A = this chain, B = another copy of it.
Amino acid sequence: MLHVVIMAGGSGTRFWPASRRMRPKQLLSLVADRTLLATTVDRVRPLAPPERIWVVTSEALAEATRDCLPSIPDDRVLGEPVGRDTAACVGWAADVVSRDDPDAVCLVLPADHVIADEHRFRTSMEVGVAWVEAHGGLLTFGIRPTRPETGFGYLRVGDARGGRDGLTVHELDRFVEKPDEATARSYLEDGSYLWNSGMFAWRAADLRSEIARQLPLLAAGLDRIAAAGAEAGRDVLEKVYPTLPKTSVDYGIMEGAARRWTLPVDFGWSDVGSWPALGELLAAGPSGVRTRGRVVALDASDCIVVGDRVTVAAVGIRDLVVVATPDAVLVVPVADAQRVREVVSALEDLGWDEVL
């Protein structure tokens, strides 16, 4: 049966000061009144009942994550003792899911993306899931690019293999690192490159076979954890998990998989990876000022202004991101918004932990 595994372990420094260590991006209501995580769960509810929706987060965030998802049984929220990148995460989740359902098919999704066309999203997921159920192998969903984005990795599609509902599964040719602008333009024109979305489908058993074949150390660690069982095994989990090899699904498992697929999809996707990316999801007011919360903008232009429980007055400013929370504020040019990481580093260096 289909199990949805939502990866909700992000630390989300890119949304400081709205995001904090204990309130990362997926637990923020950046776009709507619900958190990104709750919206992700809502979106997949027509695909699986609550007991087959699993959320993997850090142990530190498990309680906040459960609080955010009252409809999901508490034991479906899995807390990693430490983050060991996505290969360990999906491997562990596959084992936990298989304990209930040895024939489980996993649909693995990030917790913090925004999707405009939910119906099209679910159809796409169903096509991918049905493919791996029927054919095995590991499938990654690829987003049809809409701009020459240099901030994402890409997938190169191979031969078409089949599909339905206007969707065609391809062999996955290879993963491609983030390109420069000229290369990104060529990818856009070429048509055979997709954005790497971090959404996957596979039978749990097929994933574990590939881990066993390609990452024997990871497989051995996961076996030890699985052998210890669910309840009594917490000690083993906490002992073994930190020793698991750190690698990503993409490079650690997908790239070397014997049978690997990609399904090109298009349903109005955003990974909401930065304040400017969020800005694109907010309605633009006069002069391109995009706001969330209580904002007074006078002669401001091309700004993103967010008041999180704070009233913000933006007067005569342009091309700025302004984000205000009750205890911390960020002001940075839109073009430099990625420097929020430097701010978080500086705050760490200063020891100002109360705003981290």
Contacts and interface: CB of A to CB of B under 8 A. Distances in A.
A314 B339 contact: no
Contact of A331 (B320, B326, B340, B342): B320
A294 interface: yes
Nearest to A295: B329
B327 A296 contact: no
B347 A332 contact: no
The residue among A315, A332, A343 with the most chain B CB atoms within 10 A of its own CB is: A315
A202 to B, nearest CB: 41
A344 B16 CA distance: 28
Interface in A323-352: 324, 326-333, 336, 339-340, 342-343, 346-347, 350, 352
A333 B299 CA distance: 11
A31 interface: no
A18 to B, nearest CB: 12
Interface string A50-69: 00000000000000000000
Interface in A78-102: none
Interface string A12-28: 00001100000000000
A307 interface: yes
Given A343-B298, A347-B296, A327 B315 contact: no
A326 B329 contact: no
Contact of A312 (B326, B329, B339, B340): B329
Given A322-B331, A327-B310, A346 B296 contact: yes
A328 B320 CA distance: 17
Contact of A352 (B294, B316, B340, B352): B294
A303 to B, nearest CB: 9
B339 A316 contact: yes
B316 A336 contact: yes
The count of identical subunits is: 2
A333 B317 contact: yes
A167 interface: no
B327 A312 contact: no
Given A296-B343, A355-B311, A327 B330 contact: no
B327 A313 contact: no
A315 B332 contact: yes
Given A294-B352, A329-B311, A342-B298, A317 B316 contact: no
A343 B331 CA distance: 19
A12 to B, nearest CB: 16
A331 B332 CA distance: 11
A351 to B, nearest CB: 12
**Interface core residue of A313, A322, A346 (most chain B CB under 10 Å):** A313
Contacts of A329: 307, 310-313, 322, 324, 329
A198 B326 CA distance: 37
Ranked nearest first, the 6 interchain pairs of A and B with the lowest CB-CB distance are: A315-B332, A324-B329, A313-B343, A316-B336, A311-B328, A326-B326
19 contacts: A310-B327, A310-B329, A311-B327, A311-B329, A312-B328, A313-B329, A313-B330, A313-B347, A315-B331, A315-B333, A315-B342, A316-B332, A316-B336, A317-B332, A320-B331, A322-B331, A324-B329, A326-B326, A326-B327
Given A298-B339, A310-B328, 4 more contacts: A296-B350, A307-B329, A313-B332, A316-B336
